[in-house]
Structure 1
């Protein structure tokens, strides 16, 4: 080994501590060269153990290096201290630079109206709001005094209050004070309140009573009830003059015990949209039926008929009759829904009880019993004398779908919702919708301008066949296809080549919607008219 650290500058001096030479710029020289062939060189380049005389010599070498090392450590420390000082100075100068540059940012000159619009876009969705409890809004007020003033003076930002005790894991996390502040900053209110049997009922009741003090400003109410909450809800009678939309659900079957009916909203003079989710059993609800324009309730068919006879102005209805002990009433007369434009019904057999001459959109649950579906469907269309434009089928069969398409010339929009259990049936339907060559069977429903497919569960859709179906219809003569959608909540996704093919169709002019996960679920909910705001 032949190495040394030497000064790059002339006229080295001597270190007062070790006697080693120090260059004019402070670089110490220390001779680390070891001549080949010497005992020192042999020890450095092997694992040979030193003898006593070797140890004395090596110890002297180590001792000579101690002082130069200490000197270099001191010099390094000085440099580090200087570096820290420079870094601190730079940080201060950089902060000063940014603050001054910030004076010129366009954001400072942004009109309050535009800031309010931006603020509205950062608000969480209903589901997210239940998790973050309005944190996004409070964060906006901490950015600057101007932002705080604008946010606090915009009532619409504070209108939605979302509280879900079922997410609190046995702890009541909602203190009253921030909710009181939000109530002060708001004007109209959209209340989402979900009670839980796992949390002490007292703070839940106190919270709902606090919100009820402002019930005259409620525009929307979505509430899930426990037994203890029912009296608090009933106390709202004649206190909700601005309420336009109402959604009621029950936390458990026990919550419905002893509740003969809910009658506190019969005098709600602004109520036009009602939803009731009777998962555990049916509790009658008295409504101002003459003013309702939207209806979404699950209950026995006989109760539906009684309520729907009192709702002449309905535009949209979602009729769920999924009760195990369903009793079909005698068909004395039909319910005439003269203004109805959109309807979902869970059992097609119930269609015979209704007439809707202005109906344009219909969503139905299909099943393996083709006659059970097709006969009431065609009877309903004939009795109503309506011209359907859109049809949504949930878990459809190929037989039902193709028969309807062949016999319904007014249909221009087809929406299919399937799950993992009927993926094979859906893949067969895709094949049936594919345009064959001119010598084969004619194209089914060439008038369809819109074809949407969505899978609620794990998708096993043949994406390649789906792409070929779209391509074949786009190139088929006299085919009207303009819009398509593929919605996948879970499961395998299309391969890259299929995705490229879909994007090619989009570039060629096809209005194509591709969604997955929660976005796909939200979009499919709109297909069969589930409450979009709950």
Structure 2
């Protein structure tokens, strides 16, 4: 058979196969149509829930406010907006899903973080905001743009946590913060001062390193204060202004000197945690009649420090309900329990 005749025969065979396949496809389409129509009338049970219940489920899907969900990924509210049209509509009109914003993921390009931040700020509407800013120094121009966007929503700030962020940037944030309740600053910038004095609801503050030296705060209204990696010389002047403290954590980076041990009376202090270099020596500073919980983190704590502890309790006239000695050698537990027979003593 010639090549031409073979090609004609092959073409006829292929046409016949195509015709058979088209008939099969037509039959499958005919079978598919009623199945599709039945499915189109089916409503998934979850989509029959009232929007109010779906909204509550969405809110419980996220970390408890004021903790922050990731901007993207499985635990982000953006996932809820990608499941189906109905869920997207509910997610986009639920401000509570977008009110906790963390700009701290190095895997997301900074420019995209700025874009997402603006989206979340818009979607959160009038809700109070919980903000986490971390190391936003890559692009000064975009950082300025971001700070401007955040400042425009400053009346809604409820929690503000800032890591490795130049205090000069924070200067642009200065102003009234009527809802701010929690402030955490982690910085080693000693060249700029910043004020948070216009925050009438501020109660909880965490300051790290240089922030203790450069930040002006309404100290008298605070009820919880953490000073971390701080020199003891800066503690007493601050603590003498915080007469309403209920909880206090001090983490020293240097040994306390005699000049640092100025008397501080904290009449409402309920819990005190001391960490760092020989922190128990700083106990001489305090008069805390309401103290109930004392925690000391010191791997070198030994029975020789018992007189210091007993003198502190006697001086304050407090009735300890819990004494925790973390990192201390449990071999000394007997001596501390004997010295404080009416106080539960724990070693960790």
TM over 0.5: yes
Aligned to 1:248, the other structure's residue is in SS state strand
CA shift for structure 1 position 246: 0.4
Match of 1:36 in 2: none
How many angstroms apart in 1 are the aligned matches of 2:261 and 2:345?
Answer: 34
Instruction: Find the aligned partners of 2:47 and 2:157 in 1 and give their Cα distance.
Output: 35
**Length-normalised TM-score, structure 1:** 0.55
Structure 1 residues 202 and 91: CA distance shift in structure 2, 3 A:
farther
Equivalent residue, structure 1, for 2:158: 219
Q: Which of 57, 60, 78 matches 1:138?
A: 78
Does the 8 A contact of 1:301 with 1:321 survive in 2?
yes
CA distance in 1, matches of 2:252, 2:142: 35
Q: Give the alignment's Cα RMSD to 1 decimal.
A: 3.4
Q: Is the 8 A contact 1:209 1:232 kept in 2?
A: no
Deviation at 1:359, TM superposition (A): 1.8
Measure how far apart 1:318 and its partner are: 0.9
Q: 1:247 aligns with which of 184, 187, 203?
A: 184
Residue 286 (structure 1) aligned with residue 246 (structure 2): no
Q: Paired residue for 2:110? A: 172
The alpha-carbon distance between structure 1 residues 360 and 175, as it changes in their structure 2 partners (threshold 3 A), is closer
- 1:305 and 2:236 correspond: yes
Over 3 Å counting, the alpha-carbon distance change for 1:90 and 1:232 in structure 2 is: farther
**Separation in 1, partners of 2:198, 2:40:** 57
Which residue of 192, 203, 213 maps to 1:272?
203
Q: Distance in 2 between matches of 1:96 and 1:390?
A: 68
* Correspondences of 1:22-61 after superposition (within 5 Å): none
Decide whether aligned partners of structure 1 residues 95 and 366 sit closer, same or farther in structure 2, where only a CA change above 3 A counts. farther
Paired with 1:375 and 1:92, the residues of 2 have a C-alpha distance of: 87
CA distance in 1 between counterparts of 2:16 and 2:338 reads: 92
Alignment deviations for residues 216-248 of structure 1 (CA, whole Å, 9 cap, x no partner): 110010112444xx2331133333121110011
How many angstroms does 1:382 deviate by? 2.3
Distance 2:319 2:31 in 1: 74
The list of structure 1 runs, each at least 4 consecutive aligned residues, that deviate by more than 6 angstroms after superposition, is 73-83, 125-128
Shift in Å, 1:345: 0.7
1:189 corresponds in structure 2 to 129
Deviation digits for residues 490-518 of structure 1, max 9, x if unmatched? Answer: xxxxxxxxxxxxxxxxxxxxxxxxxxxxx
Aligned pairs for 1:151-162 (under 5 A) are 151-162=91-102
Query: Gapped runs of 5+ residues in structure 2?
Result: 1-12
Distance 2:165 2:132 in 1: 15
1: CA distance between counterparts of 2:156 and 2:48?
Answer: 34
Q: Residue in 2 aligned with 1:237? A: 174
Alpha-carbon displacement from aligned partner over 1:43-74 (angstroms, at most 9, x marks no partner): xxxxxxxxxxxxxxxxxxxxxxxxxxxx9x99
- How far 1:153 moved relative to its partner? 3.1
**In structure 1, how many angstroms separate the alpha carbons of the residues matched to 2:19 and 2:223?**
80
Find the aligned partners of 2:327 and 2:196 in 1 and give their Cα distance.
35
Deviations 1:120-167 (Å, cap 9, x if unpaired)? Answer: 1222578873462898323323445543443333322211111026x1
The answer (yes or no) to whether the contact 1:341–1:358 under 8 Å persists in 2 is yes
Q: Do the aligned residues in 1 keep the contact of 2:333 with 2:347 (CA within 8 Å)?
A: no
Q: Give the Å deviation of 1:271.
A: 0.9
Aligned length: 331
C-alpha change, 1:332 and 1:359, in structure 2 (3 Å) is closer
Specify which of 397, 400, 409 is matched with residue 329 of structure 2: 397
Asked which structure has the greater RCO (Cα within 8 Å, sep 6+), the reply is: 2
Q: Distance in 2 between matches of 1:94 and 1:412?
A: 70
Q: What is the alpha-carbon distance in structure 2 between the residues aligned to residue 164 and residue 196 of structure 1?
A: 8
Say whether the 8 Å CA contact 1:357–1:385 is kept in structure 2.
yes
Q: 2:282 aligns with which of 350, 354, 378?
A: 350
In 2, the alpha carbon distance for the partners of 1:91 and 1:400 equals 78
Partner of 1:368: 300
Task: Say which of 204, 207, 220 aligns to 2:143.
Answer: 204
- 1:80-99 correspondence runs (5 A): 93-99=34-40
Structure 1 residues 100 and 376: alpha-carbon distance in aligned structure 2, compared to 1, 3 A threshold: farther
Match of 1:368, SS state, is: coil
Partner deviation per Cα, 1:368-424 (whole Å, 9 max, x = no partner) = 3514643322222222232222333321211343322333344347462xxxxxxxx
- Unaligned 5+ segments in structure 1 are 1-70, 417-534
Please say if residues 190 and 211 of structure 2, whose CA atoms lie closer than 8 Å, have aligned partners that are also in contact: no
Cα offset, 1:249, TM superposition: 0.9
TM-score when normalising by structure 2: 0.81
Task: Answer whether contact 2:203 2:224 (CA < 8 A) is retained.
Answer: yes
Distance (Å, rounded) in 2 between the aligned partners of 1:331 and 1:301 = 6
